Amino acid sequence: MTQVRSQPQRTCLGCRQVKDKSQLIRFVRSPDGEILVDLKGRLPGRGTYLCNSRACIEAAVGRKQFDRTFRQTCQPVTADQLVDGVAKELLAHMASLLGMARKSARFVSGGNAVQDALARKKPLAVIILARDISPQIGDKVRRKAEYQKIVTTKLFDKIELGRILGRAERSVVGLPDGKLAEAFLDDLLRYQDISGES
């Protein structure tokens, strides 16, 4: 029986499972021995792959798998540092996607505008609430969004969200259905998996 595989496969250094490369996170060893997270898979050098999971990262660190796979001593690193590294890269990537939404003006922002979009049942794919949003507005938006089965998440703070969107503080941002929102949701799921946040 022949199997058609459209995706290249790699083995996770932690659990040894073979998965599609796109489901795994790539790590490289810098010339001075530092283990770097390579979310976009673009850093030079040989890479090694891990599931987007704390358990797999812990297993690889605990068994000194990085030294083994790169056949050289690597700078000491803890699983926490690598998990933080992955989470930070995912956050940075989500911020850059919001920046792209800004350039193409494909977003709704501000408590009133987002609530208005929800009231008119505009097709939003995801709503980002600032971590420091006022609880009243946050709860209101979240309830309405959940009713329409729109994903909500708390990320960044009001100042960061404003900066990303080139405005003053923003407490809420909505992304309409589309490729950009799909890419954002993909990152968000991975971020929630690795950081344990919801």
- C-alpha 97, offset from chain centre: 10
Single out the segment in contact with Zn ion by CB under 5 A; choices: 14-22, 27-35, 142-150, 158-166: 14-22
Q: Is 79 in the site for Zn ion (CB under 5 A)?
A: no
Q: Is 181 in the site for Zn ion (CB under 5 A)?
A: no
- Judged by beta carbon, residue 22 or residue 96, the one nearer Zn ion is 22
Whole-angstrom CA distances from 81 to 14, 21, 41, 163, 173 are 16, 22, 19, 27, 30
Lookup: tokens for 152: 């909500």
x/- mask, Zn ion, residues 36-75, rule CB under 5 A, reads ---------------x----x-------------------
Query: Which amino acid, one-letter code, is at 109?
Result: S
| Minimum CB distance to Zn ion, residue 167 (Å) | 40
- Judged by beta carbon, residue 60 or residue 172, the one nearer Zn ion is 60
Strand-pair category, 151-154 with 172-176:
unpaired
What is the DSSP annotation of 17-58? -EEEGGGEEEEEE-TTS-EEEETTS-SSS-EEEEES-HHHHH
- Judged by beta carbon, residue 132 or residue 193, the one nearer Zn ion is 193
**Residues 6+ away with beta carbon under 8 Å from 75:** 32, 33, 34, 35
- Judged by beta carbon, residue 25 or residue 128, the one nearer Zn ion is 25
- Judged by beta carbon, residue 12 or residue 118, the one nearer Zn ion is 12
Q: Which of 10, 14, 25, 181 binds Zn ion (CB under 5 A)?
A: 14
| Minimum CB distance to Zn ion, residue 27 (Å) | 12
| Minimum CB distance to Zn ion, residue 183 (Å) | 23
Of 120-149, binders to Zn ion (CB under 5 A) are: none
| Minimum CB distance to Zn ion, residue 12 (Å) | 3
Whole-angstrom CA distances from 161 to 12, 138, 139, 166, 189 are 34, 15, 18, 9, 19
Q: Is 15 in the site for Zn ion (CB under 5 A)?
A: yes
User: CA–CA separation, 13 vs 61, rounded Å?
Assistant: 9
Beta bridge partners of 38: 26
Task: List residues near Zn ion by CB under 5 A.
Answer: 12, 14-15, 51, 56
